[in-house]
């Protein structure tokens, strides 16, 4: 990405994936995990659940719920995050289709 200057502030246009912009490994997977985690966070907040109550529903201890609520999902796989969503009463659908690009991508629709 090109660095542009607007006045005295230098900036780069985002690719749409902050993990890729930062050069982190597996950026598509990290973005997917972040989006799944955000949906879990929203569901827990909407229901007014305590972290202990959420932990009982998700089958994990409260400190792990706390980490999840702070978007520290690194310890959880995409599969585990999808299991959390189903435990919270959500349907999770995976669609695989050909891409026009050299490599496919992953996305979440809510």
Q: Cβ(43)–Cβ(35) under 8 Å?
A: no
> What domains can you pick out in the chain, each with its CATH number?
16-87 (1.10.260.40)
Q: Following CA atoms 19, 60, 85, 54 in sequence, which dihedral angle do they give, to the nearest 10 degrees?
A: -110
| Residues forming a β-bridge with 9 | 6
Taking the model in full, what pTM does it have?
0.78
In whole angstroms, give the CA distance from residue 97 to residue 75: 28
Mean pLDDT calculated for residue range 39-46: 97
2 pLDDT higher than 60: no
Q: Cβ(83)–Cβ(91) under 8 Å?
A: no
């Amino acid at each position: 990405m090109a660095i542009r200057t607007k006045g005295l502030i230098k900036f780069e246009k985002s690719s749409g994936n902050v993990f890729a912009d930062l050069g982190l490994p597996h950026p598509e997977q990290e973005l997917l995990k972040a989006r799944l985690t955000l949906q879990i966070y929203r569901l827990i907040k909407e229901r007014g659940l305590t972290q202990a109550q959420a932990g009982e529903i998700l089958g994990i201890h409260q400190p792990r719920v706390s980490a999840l609520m702070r978007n520290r999902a690194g310890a959880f796989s995409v599969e585990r995050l999808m299991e959390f969503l189903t435990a919270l009463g959500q349907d999770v659908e995976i669609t695989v289709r050909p891409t026009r690009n050299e490599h496919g991508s992953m996305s979440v629709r809510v």
